[in-house]
Structure 1
């Protein structure tokens, strides 16, 4: 059986020495700290670190191998969580950042560990009790999103990340360039969607510039047994841009039983008892005060962007760096999913 290099991507000995010197609140004994990977593979990797007293922390580092240009910038992710931490938006409290790649082979940062359910797939949707907790998970996620979009980027020290021009134009240009750096053999549908998105984006009303998380969904949140959000994770795609892109991303990933068009992710909302998409949209409009009449465009954009990101993940499988024993089978399935989402986006845009 092949072993993923991401299992061993955090050497315990060098990390322990760094923690002993840089994180005095962590109780590090004579033995190396205990390290366990708890998520990752398609994005930045997250590890649970346990100190000598049993207290838990979380470490984030980039994935190993075949990382596309501009992806997985740990310092950028660190900037966003430290900026947002004092606001009403719940995040894991940041602890320390390490720019010395000699410690574990890459930049990384440490944050406090937040207990909670991370509902990343359909099966996980059953972890919350039917009734109020499941409905609350979706509605509270939207409330947290609206709270994030209410944060003034200049007021939290992120104003220097503001760029001139259109956020959508930059995103369309960036992801189109990156998808053509991938190993996906047929990008004709992706290209057709890109052309329509460019055309239709030019006709949209100007959007206000806010913090856009970039991957806002239940799989990147920790929720309690009551369904309320305890922390927002995975800020690697965060930027200053159009807040409706976050809402479109959430809705594109929010599958419901009986859907004819599959969601971008087979997530927990496919289980009975979660709020419907229309409820989430209405809740966001109420809490944020924003016009959501053009949301269909943003959902199509989310499906296309998911296809572009999926192309990068497919390239890592095709390059053999994921450590899966069934890479060929997984690769075929990923190609089919990329095509399916691109086709759904094209249909929604009138293609």
Structure 2
């Protein structure tokens, strides 16, 4: 983490009024991870908190929805999905220049590398099992009961998402990528009929957005709900496998080329089977569409990250530009799925 260079005294004054038992002085330290919403650790003499804010500068419409992040996590506090406790939301732009929210800090382990090299081999499989369990818990949330029945529009989720992310991609396009154009065209022409599956989807479900209790290998918090909405469960499931298909290391954060059995890790099909068993499904038909969609969507997201990096509005501009250079790889992998 890097020390923040801004004066957050106004935030501390606001928090002291709006958060019970918040006390000054408070120190602010910026997390280096994450490329969307700048995130800070707040430390007071009594407690630790986390602040998430919109980035500065001109933003794409509907992006960086910290208000939705706050709402969904607040709603899930009464569910089986583990989330941090929300403390307060601020829509007053005079405080920090953007909307932001503050939540309680949760101690836990974040596994940035899905190879799980820092975990004993015998415990790795159970971490992936827990991951599939948590994903199923998200998809089983009673939307009406937690007050999220209006958290997303109805209709065909994939039609809506392809339209949205194509528009976002084109508005942030910096280079012409032929494979991306091909992928968009194929997806538009092969949208499956609406099967009326409706559930809460996380939108960016992957291992490094989960915090674990290091002793029991149980998830203690699901983070980064910016892209959550009401949608189709298979979109989240495909995004997990998409991530694992990427190169290993902190840039790809994938499992490409890894002998998973030798390393005590779940195979893709084992993860799908584990999820389907919890959800009461016999299997998934034409999963290649969902995988191609996952690659397309991530390519569009990373293109936006790259554009913000070039404009200096990303949380870490240099890293954002580097990540943005993976857009072509995601597009190529999406096309490769269709050619199998």
TM over 0.5: yes
Gaps of 5+ in 2: none
**Is 2:198 the counterpart of 1:209?**
yes
Q: Is the 8 A contact 2:56 2:98 kept in 1?
A: no
Other structure's SS at 2:31 match: strand
Q: State the match for 2:292 in structure 1.
A: 300
Residue 194, structure 1, aligned to residue 184, structure 2: yes
Residues 1:58 and 2:54 are matched in the alignment: no
How many angstroms does 1:24 deviate by?
2.0
CA distance in 2, matches of 1:166, 1:252: 22
Report the 3-state secondary structure (helix = DSSP H, G, I; strand = E; otherwise coil) of the residue aligned with 2:10. Answer: helix
The reply to whether residue 110 of structure 1 matches residue 99 of structure 2 is no
Residue pairs, 1:266-305, within 5 angstroms? 266-267=252-253, 272-290=263-281, 291-305=283-297
| Secondary structure of residue in 2 paired with 1:59 | strand
1:341 aligns with 2:334: no
Deviations 1:226-246 (A, max 9, x none): 322110000000000001100
Distance 1:158 1:238 in 2: 11
Residue number in structure 2 paired with 1:258? none
- Say if 2:241 is the partner of 1:247: no
Aligned equivalents of 2:218, 2:287: Cα separation in 1: 25
Aligned-pair CA distance for 1:40: 4.5
- 1:268-319 superposed Cα distances (whole Å, 9 cap, x missing partner): 7567333221211110010012342332221111111111011001112222
For residues 111-168 of structure 1, give each alpha carbon's deviation from its aligned partner in whole angstroms, at most 9, with x where no partner exists.
1111111122468x33323222x21221101101101101121221111234232110
Please give the alpha-carbon distance, in whole angstroms, between the structure 2 residues aligned to 1:321 and 1:95. Answer: 26
Please give the alpha-carbon distance, in whole angstroms, between the structure 2 residues aligned to 1:265 and 1:254: 12
For residues 101 and 131 of structure 2, the distance between their equivalents in structure 1, rounded to whole angstroms, comes to: 25
State TM-score, norm by structure 1.
Answer: 0.86
Equivalent-residue separation in structure 1 for 2:325 and 2:148 (angstroms) = 38
Query: Cα deviation per residue 1:187-233 (whole Å; 9 max; x = unaligned)?
Result: 3321211111122223x461411001000001111012132211000
Return 221-230 or 264-273, whichever deviates more: 264-273
One of 117, 122, 146 as aligned partner of 2:136: 146
Q: CA deviation at 1:254?
A: 1.8
Q: Write the mapping of 1:37-116 to structure 2, written as runs, cut at 5 A.
A: 37-53=30-46, 55-116=47-108
Give secondary structure in 2 for the equivalent of 1:68.
Answer: coil
1:49-108 CA-to-partner distances (Å, cap 9, x unmatched) read 11122x211111122334322101111111110111110000011111111111111111
Question: CA separation in 2, counterparts of 1:335 and 1:73?
Answer: 21
1:318 is matched with which residue: 290, 299, 310?
310
Contact (CA 8 Å) 1:303, 1:345: kept in 2 or not?
Answer: yes
Q: Is contact 1:120–1:268 with CA below 8 Å preserved after alignment?
A: no
Query: Which SS does the other structure have where 1:307 is aligned?
Result: helix
Structure-2 residue corresponding to 1:20: 16
C-alpha distance in structure 2 between counterparts of 1:40 and 1:62, whole Å: 15
Conserved? CA contact 1:126–1:268, under 8 Å? no
Judge conservation of contact 1:66–1:319 (CA < 8 Å) in 2: no
Paired with 1:113 and 1:208, the residues of 2 have a C-alpha distance of 34
Unmatched runs of 5 consecutive residues or more in structure 1: 256-260
TM-score by length of 2: 0.89
Preserved contact between residue 135 and residue 227 of structure 1 (Cα < 8 Å):
no
**Separation of aligned partners in 1, 2:101 and 2:16:** 15
**CA–CA separation in structure 2 for the residues paired with 1:224 and 1:49:** 21
In the TM superposition, residue 340 of structure 1 has moved relative to its aligned partner by 1.4
Partner Cα distance (2:11, 2:316) in 1: 27
Cα distance in structure 2, aligned partners of 1:252 and 1:37: 29
Q: How many residues in Structure 1 have an aligned counterpart in Structure 2?
A: 331
| Aligned-partner Cα distance in 2 for 1:342–1:18 | 44
The aligned counterpart of 1:219 is: 208
- Per-residue deviation at 1:349? 2.0
